Amino acid sequence: MAAMALEGMVGAAERAFGAWKDTSRLERRRLLEAWLDQVGRVREDLARFITEETGKPISLARGEVARAEATLQATVEVVATFGEQAVPYDLMAGAEGCRAVLRRFPVGPVLAITPFNFPVNLAVHKLGPALAVGCSAIWKPCPQAPRTSRLLWEAFEAARIQVAAPVHLLQLTGPDPVAAEALAKDPRIAAVSFTGSERVGRHLEQVLAGKRLLLELGGNGAVVVDEGVDAAAVARQLAPAAVAGAGQSCSKAQRIYVHRGIWEVFAPAFVAAVQALPVGDPMDSATIVGPLIDEATARRLDESLDRAASAGAQVLLRGRRDGALLPPAILSGLGESDPLQCEEVFAPITVLTPVASFDEGLDRAAATRFGLRASAYSRDQRNLRRAASILRAGGVLLNLPPTFRLDSAPFGGVQASGNGFEGPGWAMEGFTEGRLIVEGPAL
């Protein structure tokens, strides 16, 4: 994108912000409700585009669009209560008659950068809250799903026109990462919200030093399974969390540490549960595991499985790659420094590791630079409390898989997995700045 076009886009966003920032909650809520209605009108087209462009199975694509609608609905509901908090200033001696409020104000134009694995819902998680608090937004979607992104933006434009919101309130930019970086560096862009790889996130931290930067990066989700649980039931619950959607989820179950006391039951039960999930044509409504985003990615990951097997890993399950379709693979016996164990895999590959105790599992699960999601299963409440304390992650799930998510709840990571939380109310905080306003009695 030419520098002139970038300049015009940021200028338009700045003008739209000036016209939108002081609008009433009623006006902003009407816009979001209209967008929700428009998304509902095209939900099946959105799902079909997601599947055609990214390979996500159609049943999961429909689920993503439904989640996006729920996210917008939750944003609508938060608008009514967000932005003002009374502060009891008259608790201080000499402050009798004082009134105070902590009020939040929109920071300015926002740049939102979103990935391919949830091209609709993750976009709505950024754009809805930004618009809800009075920001304008420029959206740089993933290059892999242009029709999906365009349709979601067109649904917004129809809503914007319907309620007479300012022109250029939400602009859609192209896939060029160089242009996106130039936009991010523009001093008129007040905040950048990015979901994607750790590598790109760290690069943005370097080039955008001092700018408000909200990051949701990768993970390598660990699960610790204690003795005493129903091993087969836990295995069945974790199977889709490990491989659904070809495992292209930052919160997928990647590393599973299993107490030796139940290993002989859990390992075969997990293999069987994964094998039972339909693999193949993403347009088939029964399919749970479709292709990866492209053949080059599938080939690279298939080669990583070859290397792990050559290095002595035990292969519990593996199929033959067919183009971009990489069947689920389950390995055991990997060292903690193996890339399939310590990096984000983003594929239907799972590593099972037997451990001598629940505490050993917690220690090994916590020995990572990532910190997005982690899970622990136990019937012992003391063990669960210890897991919540030891597993350093933005979300710790107890007796639930790491993929378990409510879109209205906070979601985010720590350490190499990012900062801050998404979820409508928490994302709104990221797009606003607080201002304490104190009023004394008239003199």
Q: Work out whether strand 110-113 and strand 191-195 pair parallel, antiparallel, or are unpaired.
A: parallel
Type of residue numbered 178: V
Q: Packing angle between helix 43-54 and helix 25-41, nearest 10 degrees?
A: 70
Report the alpha-carbon distance of residue 127 to residue 136 in Å, rounded.
Answer: 9
Same domain, 153 and 297: no
Q: Is the dihedral of CA 385, 343, 272, 118 positive or negative?
A: positive
Is 53 part of any domain? yes
Report the alpha-carbon distance of residue 275 to residue 32 in Å, rounded.
Answer: 42
Q: 94: left (phi > 0), else alpha (psi -120 to 50), else beta?
A: left
Is 372 part of any domain? yes
The angle formed by the CA atoms of residues 384, 350 and 63, to the nearest 5 degrees, is 80
- Whole-angstrom CA distances from 87 to 100, 101, 210, 429 are 5, 5, 29, 17
Do residues 373 and 394 touch, judged by C-beta distance below 8 A?
A: yes
Q: Work out whether strand 170-172 and strand 191-195 pair parallel, antiparallel, or are unpaired.
A: unpaired
Residue 337 is encoded by which pair of tokens? 């420094």
Type of residue numbered 198: E
Is 404 part of any domain? no
Same domain, 114 and 247: no
Question: Residue 144 sits in which domain range?
Answer: 3-217+418-439
Give the three-class secondary structure for 226: coil
Same domain, 38 and 166: yes
Same domain, 268 and 289: yes
Q: Is the dihedral of CA 307, 144, 342, 63 positive or negative?
A: negative
Same domain, 158 and 243: no
CB atoms within 10 A of CB 310: 8
**pLDDT tens by residue, 12-47:** 999 999 999 999 999 999 999 999 999 999 999 999
Same domain, 59 and 167: yes
- CATH number (domain holding residue 10): 3.40.605.10
Name the nearest CA neighbour of 109 among 64, 170, 160, 56.
170
Same domain, 179 and 283: no
Give the three-class secondary structure for 26: helix
Same domain, 423 and 392: no
133 contacts: CB under 8 Å, gap ≥ 6: 28, 82, 83, 104, 106, 428, 431, 432
Name the nearest CA neighbour of 75 among 434, 439, 426.
426
Domains in the chain, number: 2
Do residues 109 and 137 touch, judged by C-beta distance below 8 A?
A: yes
- The residue behind tokens 């210890």 is 386
Report the alpha-carbon distance of residue 324 to residue 313 in Å, rounded.
Answer: 24
- CATH number (domain holding residue 350): 3.40.309.10
Is 244 part of any domain? yes
Same domain, 155 and 258: no
H/E element, 395:
strand 395-398
Q: Which residues are known to be catalytic?
A: 216, 250
Same domain, 169 and 294: no
Q: How many CA atoms lie within 13 A of 375 on its CB side?
A: 26
Is 322 part of any domain? yes
SS (H, E, C) 160-225: HHHHCCCCCCEEECCCCHHHHHHHHHCCCCCEEEEECCHHHHHHHHHHCCCCEEEEECCCCCEEEE
Is 238 part of any domain? yes
Is 58 part of any domain? yes
Same domain, 200 and 264: no
**pLDDT tens by residue, 140-183:** 999 999 999 999 999 999 999 999 999 999 999 998 889 999 99
Which pLDDT score is estimated for 1? 57
Q: How many CA atoms lie within 13 A of 176 on its CB side?
A: 11
pLDDT tens by residue, the chain, 443 residues: 566 688 899 999 999 999 999 999 999 999 999 999 999 999 999 999 999 999 999 999 999 999 999 999 999 999 999 999 999 998 989 889 999 999 999 999 999 999 999 999 999 999 999 999 999 999 999 999 999 999 999 999 999 999 999 999 999 999 888 999 999 999 999 999 999 999 999 999 999 998 999 999 999 999 999 999 999 999 999 999 999 999 999 999 999 999 999 999 999 999 999 999 999 999 999 999 999 999 999 999 999 999 999 999 999 999 999 999 999 999 999 999 999 999 999 999 999 999 999 999 999 999 999 999 999 999 999 999 999 999 999 999 999 999 999 999 999 999 999 998 999 999 999 999 999 999 999 88
DSSP 385-398: HHHHHH--SSEEEE
Report the alpha-carbon distance of residue 88 to residue 304 in Å, rounded.
Answer: 59
Same domain, 70 and 212: yes
Residue 106 bridge partners (DSSP): 432
- The residue behind tokens 């003199």 is 443
Give the three-class secondary structure for 351: strand
Is 408 part of any domain? no
Report the alpha-carbon distance of residue 44 to residue 29 in Å, rounded.
Answer: 24
Name the nearest CA neighbour of 301 among 348, 242, 370.
348
- The residue behind tokens 């350490």 is 415
